[in-house]
Structure 1
Amino acid sequence: MLHDIDLVYMGGKLTTGKDIVLTGSSATLTLGVDVNLYRSAADILKTDDDFTARSFNTNSTVRSAFFKTTATVNGTHTVTAYQAATSGDNSVAGNFTSDNVDASCVYVAGPNKQRATLKIGHTGAADGTDSVASAIGIELNTTGTACQGITVTAPDGPTTGNLLLLRNNSVDDFVVKGTGRVGIGVAQGATPGGRVQIAQRDDSTIGLFMVANSASANHLAEFRDSSNTAKLRILKTGAPAAVNAQFGTATAESYGGGDGVVGIRNATIVPTTNPISGGVLYVEAGALKYKGSSGTVTTLAPA
């Protein structure tokens, strides 16, 4: 029963300036019919039954609502927002808006081990008519904004998992590991072999495709050493340009102190068969040699 509670029925709504706590579930009662409300403590209006109303609104200077449950039955959620209408462009199940510029609009936290802390499931259309829809849509509004689209941080230390994973058809189409390594098209769960690894998954797709800007004076690619000195460039014409070039080794270079030169290491295995439609240039015991398609070996320069 009601005792010392400022409760007013006005304009089709039951209004109170006190906190309301709703707990338990023994029967379904409808607001305005036979709801059992009573004063359990100072400024607390309470019911031990389900609470049903056409609309529930708060406008307060304190916390407007608090929901908590210890239920463990599958499908028993603390809060369920259900939009049953099947049309309406801006009729959504949940709408969160904040005027506070110093805090996030929504906090989501959980100790999950087997599932995502926040899971979003899009119920797709089998006929593909949802091609412009997305599971997540992000808008960065206002001209001049410097807002970031997505930020992932690990303030308590680096994660040993993935920072970002896009998986489709049992292939990691794009993955950023906790080490910062990036994999494109790598096998599911694989560790990229370098800072960036691109796996060519089929015979018809180019592994890396780059197109130059016709109006640009910059290069397609540039490679620098640890001292930040450019060593190799791919010009916008597609031609390679290197300070020095070394053939026949995957480790140490040797240019004899030269700059702007080409170095050729001694061949590990000299050609034993005749090349087809051309010739082979190589170094043997320091001498520069050429073997043509007829099998003739010519020494172009002695050691």
Structure 2
Amino acid sequence: MPASDTDNLIQHAQSLVTGVTLNVMERPGTGTPVICLHGIWDNWQYFLPLVAPGPGSFEGRPLLMVDHRGHGQSSKPESGYEWSDYAGDVVTLVKERGYERVTLVGHSLGALTSLLAAADMPARIESMVLEDPPLPLRPASGDVFRALLELKGQSFEAVVEEFMIWRPWLKQEEAEGSARRLLDTASGVLRTAGERLLANAAIPTPDVTIDAPVLVIQAGIPEQRAFGEGGRELLEAVIPNLTVETIPHTSHNVLREQPEPYRQLLAEFFGG
């Protein structure tokens, strides 16, 4: 991405009454803000493909790319990594900034966070994009987080090597990027996620209807898709205006793998 596309980003250290400070990278604009929430052991840079001008970039609108607590340059407390903690940060961010309406764009953990935050403030949600939300949750995924927690204790070189073995299709630079993001994630993030998944702890089902239009973008490769069988039914129960789209030949990190088709879907859904 050309440097000119990121030159106008402004970095904020947003201290919240929840006790954490969130790293927020903002592209200034006018109109309804768009808040982008990345997946677990990732960071705000996941959404860099949306910054460049053009269709599907929310051009002209404020674009806020947030590091979750425990990730990137945000606070890394020892505890406080329940699903509700992440959602609470988003709700607090929206209210402290005085936003009356927002669009939430979330990937994986960020999609779950968006859903829970929307349930807590449905009147403030103008629209949502949920990228491959892990619904329903899979208890077996807890073992993956246990393995990642053990891996986090190793050297950078060892982590890169393990990623190349685990995901042999990765290029060297992609494995290095994954390793950096993992090592920059608080251990409590991985520990809590693993414990909740192994205990088969379900995501709290929203008890309110979310009337805003919602776009789900799911991975194209079924065996690498987090939005599993039954996920659509879970969402349709609380989201009447739901659209589900698939980008072929993608795994869980859809935007990272196919940014142009992803942006095209956004352009079609939002009308430009």
TM range (shorter): under 0.3
Structure 2-normalised TM-score? Answer: 0.18
Report the structure number with the largest CA radius of gyration: 1
The one of the two structures with greater contact order (alpha-carbon pairs below 8 A, sep at least 6) is 2
Structure 1-normalised TM-score? Answer: 0.17
